[in-house]
Structure 1
Amino acid sequence: MRILILLVMACWSFTNRAAAALRPPGVPTVRKHLVYLRDKANTPYSLSAPQRFLTARALERRTRQGIALQSRDLPVDPVYVEQVQSVSGAKVWYTSRWFNAVVVECDSATLAVVQALPCVRSARTLNRSGVGVVVSPVGEGSAPTVARPAGTRADYGRAYAQTHQIGADVMHDAGFRGEGMQIAVFDGGFPGVNTGAVFTSLYQENRLASVYNFVGRDQNVYQYDNHGTLVLSTMAGNQPGVFIGTAPQATYHLFVTEDVASEQPVEEVNWLIAAERADSLGIDIINSSLGYNTFDAPSVDYTYAELDGRTALSTRAATVAARVGMLVVSSAGNEGNNRWRYLTAPADADSILTVGAVDSLGARANFSSIGPTADNRLKPNVSAMGRQAAFVYPSGAIGRGNGTSFSSPITAGLAAGFWQAHPTLTAQQVIEYLQRSASQATTPDTLLGYGIPNFGRAQQAVAGIPLPTAPTVGVGNRVQLYPNPVPAGAAACTLQLPAELRSQPLEVRLYDVRGTLVTTLLLPASNAAIVQLPTTALRPGVYSCRLGRSGGPPYTLRLIRL
């Protein structure tokens, strides 16, 4: 089942879905099949000449992460493809390097002939009913607007809460907005992306690198369901004063993999083919706000036992995508308050970042799917705001809705900026640091995983600074410094004081990494819970901040100055 928003505001429009659900009468079903080939023994491609099938950026991503090429990276044998294509009535739609297979459209009688070929190992039917959707494309073109850097709460509009909760606003102020990172978005359609003001900087700055509709084998992506538009806006939105997403300067690829008119395993294969294209293009991050457990034909529904990281088609594809160095970010699912309760594929995949949902206060959203996987691995990995998350409609209106469909891209944008800040990390290290930064990193569970990730804490983890056991999100009765890291150029940071440190003078001493006293500040007695700590004189670096009080032990915190 596709992961859609569970509860949305009253202004939600079902126009695109209703249009997509209209099927031309009397058109017969033509089935698609995943045909597995026997081998790659005689392929003309070689691992010694990978530039024939992988871009320089794809090869660089592997080299940077120490990932060796394997036979799965080789394209299928073109001679085998020709043999399948030569069967009368068989139409080859796609080939799959990773699964050594071809997607073939044909009837049952033709499939029997295909399966008899010596080059064919086996076949699986991917759709039992339904036909393609025909919708007129949305017109292109919009007037560009000039974007400016994010900085204030007002700049983010309604996106501020979900951005601030994970420290993405601090990340932006530190200069990491996703520049140079490439993100592929797999979804069911992107109407309005080519006309909306919140997306115009994508075109103005040439950051919309490619689009493709894997359902119709064309480039018509600005149509069908608006789910993809809403998802994209939480990352790529870039209209200061109205809405800013978590990765407003990243480069994007928009891939339609979901056929909104039906629910068939062929959509999981579309996911696979899109992931292979993402790999070959050198894309860094895949966001998948999609999930599968039930289909139009109940006989192919997944059971919970099959959510083991090895069974579902999309799960197997996501696992390989992670193995070749891409960071796959997936919605956990919206099944937490129904009979299924658990994750949906591909969220059960190993080595990917599966994201659950919380509200603005950090409490778990009851619809958020839970773990563990069937083979008892911890899922979700982390959680972010998915209850009453803000997004942008194709019309440009700002809305709010519920779903892990939103917590996933919000987190993917955080991952993009964090990876930009630390480009030598591997995708798996990015996951590790985000988990270590999260609000319940020391006590993970199958409801929220490691909790809510935070950019500042992830920065501390990379720097080797011991993290406090208490989360840095929210306000409580503990000493806190924020934003931390302190952005370059910031005149001060905020020092939060518990009740026991108020109403008495405080001495604040800052030491550098060598233990040298850099400065001493005297704070007069005050009942204020929040005071400002000047940082203008501090050079970029890591500092130990010690708070002393009369008659009591000192409090020590770490401070990073960017």
Structure 2
Amino acid sequence: MFFFCVFLIGSSFAQEAPVPQRYWVLFKDKPAPETTALVSEAALQQRRLRHLPLAQFSDVPVHQAYLDSLSSQGVTVTSVSKWLNAAAVLASPAQAKALQQNSYVKELRPITGFFVPSQTASPFQPQYVGKALTQLKPEAILAAGLTGRGVKVGVIDAGFYEAPKKAGLHPIFQEGRMRAFRDFVNPAHSQTFDQRESFLDSHGTDVLLCLGGADPKDRVLSGFAPSADYYLARTDHGKRETRVEEAYFVRALEWMDSLGVRLVNSSLGYGTGFDNPAENYRPEQMDGSSYLARAVQVAVEEKGMFIVIAAGNDGGNKKWRVVNTPADAAGVLTVGATDYSTWTKQGYSSIGPTFLPYLKPDVVCFASSGTSFSAPVIAGLAACLLEANPALTPAQLTRILQRSSHLYPFGNNFVGYGVPDAGKALALAQGLTDSPAEAAPVQVSGHRFVYTPARGSAISENGGIVLFRKASATRVISQQKLSSNVKKIVVKRLPGETHTTLQVGPQVMELVWL
């Protein structure tokens, strides 16, 4: 934080000028568009494919006269969002008070809080990404030759330092499938692949490897979508983490939509844990109501974009635990992280708030060092499904991934509906199979349930034996791992336990205690 001061003539004391604060300024209206060509033909084609309105009010730019008026009042405009019809500004308290008197201002709200990257201090380990692909049973995807070809994929992250030098990313750059890059932190930079400003500037590179990495020399596949077309956006600066980056995130979404991008992955999230704790969000605010979450909803519902977001790594933080925003938004596919052998929630993986009327996370897969690296694996699978059926809507694609997951329909706020099966998802996407029949819960009288599992390797190959003990249909009290060699499973009801999901390899039962 910088302090500015002025010296008063005739006084020996210095007076500090008020420190500017960040605000969202929401405008009341927009002018009528002067042209119908507000987005690219590629974006219009995507809307036709998904039967979305071609002309959308959210495409209309913010009224330039309003922005000019803000500047004339000494307010610094740092970002503009046409979707939200808003501007992010820097203003002193006195300026903010004056802004509210303008007839064109609908609302003025402080921007508080700090960015929390969805990663841990552990270094990225490529060999673990292979485990995630294996966990999702990729055989059907590989046999069909699906690699995300023709699908436009956006990645919003902290930086892509040395991405062209990574062996697994050589094909993307050498074949010209890195279609566009924009740095919203430092707009003057046309490329930042050879510039490193912070330790986070390689984060996007590692994410990209999980999404579309393929090393042709060593024949190592680290992501499902090596043949997709990529549009990269840098929206975070690791050394100065302020909430203005939420505005950069929104601008990146708008830019990608204008280019016809229909699938976006981001491993960024905003919540708590940075700099001044007084400026963080509160856990109860992770309810899909943030401005970033609202913009994401516009992307999904109006623009037909499929958004994949990492759940975050606050699962072990007793003061927080829940997903960050925009992972809290109803329309996005929120991805958590699991253990590899038992498919239980990794300790760091954030959980879904119990007050949400919808389930978060949606699905999970293995990642050793952060949900940053589970989300792009699922995004790569989604790219393959869109290659197989380009007409899929975001809602359809979300349901396919949920219904192909191993716990469906008995999801919970630890792991969502579980780990997707890529083969099942492909069959659903191609209409080759109906949605799986939803098993009926097992009514249990008393406080004890006994089950004898069948023997076989399928148990250990499909997540082993796990109990999700719950205080409601979705709220987990605890997860319990059992040996895959146990001969008899005895479940004794815990105090407050109303539901128990019993996972025995590929078989899942839902116990409802009477």
TM-score range (shorter-chain normalised) is 0.7 to 0.9
Q: 1:511-548 CA deviation, whole Å, 9 max, x = no partner?
A: xxxxxxxxxxxxxxxxxxxxxxxxxxxxxxxxxxxxxx
Q: CA offset at residue 452 of structure 1? A: 0.6
Does the CA contact (< 8 Å) of 1:307 and 1:373 recur in 2? no
Query: How is 1:227-376 mapped onto 2 (pairs within 5 angstroms)?
Result: 227-240=203-216, 241=218, 243-244=220-221, 245-294=223-272, 295-309=274-288, 311-323=289-301, 324-339=303-318, 340-361=320-341, 362-372=343-353, 374-376=355-357
Indicate conservation of the 8 Å contact 2:20/2:93, yes or no.
no
Alpha carbons of structure 1 residues 477 and 301: separation in structure 2 relative to 1, 3 Å? closer
CA deviation vs aligned residue, 1:316-352 (integer Å, no higher than 9, x gap): 2221211121111011111112212211111110121
- Provide the C-alpha distance between the structure 2 equivalents of 1:276 and 1:475, rounded to a whole number of angstroms: 48
Distance across 2 between alignment mates of 1:337 and 1:94: 34
Letter in 2 for 1:318: V
Aligned-residue identity in percent: 34
Partner of 1:489 in structure 2? none
Alpha-carbon distance change, 467 to 287 in structure 1, aligned in 2, over 3 angstroms: same
Q: Of residues 63, 70, 80 in structure 2, which corresponds to 1:84?
A: 70
Q: Does structure 1 residue 206 correspond to structure 2 residue 206?
A: no
Q: What is aligned with 1:94?
A: 79
Task: State whether structure 2 residue 153 is matched by structure 1 residue 183.
Answer: yes
| Distance in structure 2 (CA, Å) of the matches to 1:221 and 1:25 | 31
Within the alignment, does 1:380 sit opposite 2:356 as a pair? no
Contact 1:158–1:242 under 8 Å retained in 2: no
- The structure-2 alpha-carbon separation of the partners of 1:30 and 1:302, relative to structure 1 and needing over 3 Å to count, comes to closer
Shift of 1:25: 11
Contact 1:247 1:414 in 2 (8 A): yes
Residue identity in the other structure for 2:384 = G
For the pair shown, which has the larger CA radius of gyration, 1 or 2? 1
| Residue 221 to residue 26, structure 1, CA distance change in 2 (3 Å) | farther
Residue 24 (structure 2) aligned to one of 34, 55, 63: 34
Distance in 2, matches of 1:129 and 1:66, equals: 38
What SS is found at the alignment partner of 2:378? helix
Q: 1:420 Cα deviation (Å)?
A: 0.8
Q: Give the Cα–Cα distance (whole angstroms) in 1 for the partners of residues 51 and 435 of structure 2.
A: 28
Whether the 8 Å contact between 1:176 and 1:421 is mirrored in structure 2 is yes
Is 1:416 the counterpart of 2:383? The answer is: yes
Q: What is the DSSP-based 3-state SS (H/G/I as helix, E as strand, rest coil) of the residue aligned with 1:209?
A: strand
1:163 and 1:372 map into 2 onto residues whose CA distance is: 28
Deviations, residues 404-463 of structure 1 (Å, cap 9, x unaligned) = 111101100000111111112112101111111111113211111111112211133332
- What's the CA shift string for 1:361-384, capped at 9, x where partnerless? 223212211124533321111001
Letter in structure 2 aligned against 1:455: A
1:463 and 2:432 equivalent? yes
Q: Is the Cα contact below 8 Å between 2:344 and 2:415 reproduced in 1?
A: no
**Which residue number corresponds to residue 33 of structure 2?**
44
Q: Distance in 2 between matches of 1:300 and 1:109?
A: 20
CA RMSD of superposed structures (Å): 3.1
1:74-93 per-position Cα deviation (integer Å, ceiling 9, x unaligned): 21122222322334x44433
Relative to structure 1, the CA distance from residue 334 to residue 129 in structure 2 (aligned partners, 3 Å threshold; closer, same or farther) is closer
- Amino acid aligned to 2:23: H
Counterpart code for 1:464 = T
Uncovered stretches (5+) of structure 2, i.e. residues with no partner = 6-16, 116-125, 440-455, 463-514
> Quick one: distance in 2 between partners of 1:251 and 1:359?
31
Using a 3 Å threshold, how does the CA distance of structure 1 residues 65 and 110 change in structure 2: closer, same or farther?
same
| Structure 1 residue matching 2:180: 3-state secondary structure | strand
State how 1:115-194 maps to structure 2 within 5 Å.
115-126=100-111, 159-194=129-164
Structure 1 unaligned spans of 5+? 1-22, 131-155, 388-401, 481-562
Q: State the shift of 1:125 in Å.
A: 3.9
Measured in 2, the distance between the counterparts of 1:128 and 1:478 equals 43
The number of equivalent residue pairs is 409
User: Could you tell me how far apart the structure 2 residues matched to 1:358 and 1:478 are?
Assistant: 15
Q: Is contact 2:337-2:346 (8 Å) kept? A: yes
What is the CA–CA distance in structure 1 between the aligned matches of 2:393 and 2:351, rounded to whole Å?
27
Alignment match of 1:197 (pick from 159, 167, 170): 167
Q: What secondary structure sits across from 1:376 in the alignment?
A: coil
Distance 1:110 1:479 in 2: 62
Contact 1:187/1:255 (8 A) holds in 2:
yes
Alpha-carbon shift at residue 171 of structure 1 (Å): 1.1
CA contact (8 A) 1:159 1:243 kept: no
- Residues 59 and 439 (structure 1), Cα distance of their counterparts in 2 relative to 1, 3 Å cut: same
| 1:496-520 deviation per Cα after TM superposition (whole angstroms, max 9, x unaligned) | xxxxxxxxxxxxxxxxxxxxxxxxx
Q: Distance in 1 between matches of 2:64 and 2:3?
A: 37
C-alpha distance in 2 between matches for 1:38 and 1:467? 47
Partner of 1:521: none
CA drift of 1:160 comes to: 2.8
Shift of 1:475: 4.2
For each residue in 1:131-155, what CA deviation from the matched residue of structure 2 results, as whole angstroms up to 9, or x when unmatched?
xxxxxxxxxxxxxxxxxxxxxxxxx
Q: Which residue of 2 aligns with 1:526?
A: none
1:529 alignment counterpart: none
Whole-Å separation in 2 of the counterparts to 1:306 and 1:316: 13
Whole-Å separation in 2 of the counterparts to 1:122 and 1:74:
19
SS of equivalent to 1:260: coil
SS at match of 1:420: helix
In the alignment, the residues of structure 2 paired with residue 379 and residue 158 of structure 1 have an alpha-carbon distance, to the nearest angstrom, of 24
Matched residues in 2 for 1:419 and 1:213: separation? 27
Q: Structure 2 CA distance, aligned partners of 1:184 and 1:479?
A: 33
Counterpart-to-counterpart distance in 2, 1:193 and 1:79: 41
Distance 2:277 2:131 in 1: 40
Corresponding letter in the other structure for 1:282:
G
CA contact (8 A) 1:221 1:256 kept: no
Q: 2-side partners of 1:116 and 1:243: how far apart?
A: 60
Partner of 2:50: 65
> Which residue identity does 2:27 align to in structure 1?
L
Shift in Å, 1:73: 2.6
CA 1:114–1:220: 2 relative to 1, 3 Å: farther
Partner amino acid, structure 1, of 2:62: V
User: Does the CA-based 8 Å contact 1:221-1:255 persist in structure 2?
Assistant: no
SS in 1 for 2:364: strand
Letter of the 2:33 counterpart = P
TM-superposed CA distance for 1:214, in Å, is 1.4
CA contact (8 A) 1:45 1:75 kept: no
**Distance in structure 1 (CA, Å) of the matches to 2:67 and 2:435:** 55
Q: Secondary structure at the match of 1:121?
A: strand
